[in-house]
Amino acid sequence: MIISCSRRTDVPAFYSEWFFKRLQAGFVEVRNPRNPRQIRTVSLLPEDVDGFVFWSRNPAPMLDKLDLLADHPFYFQYTLTPYGRELEPNLPPRSERLDTFRRLSDYIGPHRVIWRYDPILFSQDIGLSYHEHSFTVLARQLAGFTGQCVISFIDLYRHIEKKLTPLAVRALKEHEMRLLGKTLSHIAASFGMTLETCAEQIDLSACGIEHGRCIDDALMSAISGKPLRLPKDKHQRKACGCVASVDIGAYNTCAHGCLYCYANAAPQQIRTNRLSHHFQSPLLVGRVDDR
């Protein structure tokens, strides 16, 4: 069993203390997002967990605690994008997050820190040349600290589109995806990185970009040194290449406030969720004391 931590919130940025308490306890209780009354107990014991995949925009709070994961294989999906505070209002300065990326890579190895450049979006001020320049700047600063970059194009779900309309944000057209894909692939290769897509239908193999799997049993096997072969995750979108995992996060709990985020459909609930009694853990999992 691989633990996803988490597609639904940024556990490393906001809830690392909670996570390590649950790791010490050996289990976590996870509420079903579609049926809040249904609670599942998930083991976090080394004999039950094949590894952890951490998703984060700012894992700095975890860096001094990573030795507590000595008994577990793990890697990071680390998102670094070029947008400003109009889209990402609560993130630390990009220079700090770049420094955290490099420190994390130095500590656990470049193969265990995957750079996510997503979502890719267009607006009146953001187009092909913007992304070409921004991706080059970021790739140059991350060269040698990762060998893999994952891209995806924005999906304008209804709750996202409403927030982004005042900024004239739009999704890319297919020909724009291909043009940008070819450009980014060339830039990535020049800095020693391969490029993959995340849950995208479009085939960009002609651009040197393959479909990826963010929850990757082959990578986890390489990290752990133990054979691992898991089925495709049937709960994800059809185009998603991820293998099966258990996510221990919850929606409407991330305080970064990124306007394009699919995981925060009810932003007004975030402060309430984070300050509520149950949010000594962020995850609305019922009993979250330190038993």
Contacts of 289 (CB under 8 A, 6+ apart): 280
Q: What is the pLDDT of residue 84?
A: 96
pLDDT band at 207 (very low <50, low <70, confident <90, very high): very high
Bond into 6 cis (ω within 30) = yes
246-247 and 209-211 beta bridge pairing: unpaired
- pLDDT of 98 above 60: yes
Contacts of 173 (CB under 8 A, 6+ apart): none
Q: What is the mean pLDDT of the chain?
A: 92
* Mean pLDDT along residues 148-177: 96
Phi, psi of 233 (to 5 degrees): -75, 110
Which domains does the chain carry?
2-280 (3.80.30)
- Per the document, the length of the chain is 291
**Per residue, what are the HEC states of 95-111?**
HHHHHHHHHHHHHHCHH
Q: What is the pLDDT of residue 154?
A: 97
**What is the Cα–Cα distance from 7 to 46, expressed in whole angstroms?**
22
pLDDT digits (tens, 9 = 90+) for 19-76: 999 999 999 999 998 888 899 999 999 999 999 999 999 999 999 999 999 999 999 9
Q: What is the pLDDT of residue 10?
A: 97
pLDDT digits (tens, 9 = 90+) for 143-160: 999 999 999 999 999 989
Q: Could you tell me what percent of the chain has a pLDDT over 70? A: 93
**What is the Cα–Cα distance from 49 to 43, expressed in whole angstroms?**
7
- pLDDT of 277 above 50: no
Exposure string (b/e) for 86-123, b if CB count within 10 Å is 16 or more?
A: ebbeebeebeebeebbbebbeebebebbbbbbbbbbbe
pLDDT digits (tens, 9 = 90+) for 219-251: 999 999 999 999 999 999 999 999 999 999 999
Give me the helix-helix angle, 94-108 and 128-142, nearest 10°.
Answer: 40
- pLDDT of 291 above 80: no
Decide: pTM greater than 0.85.
yes
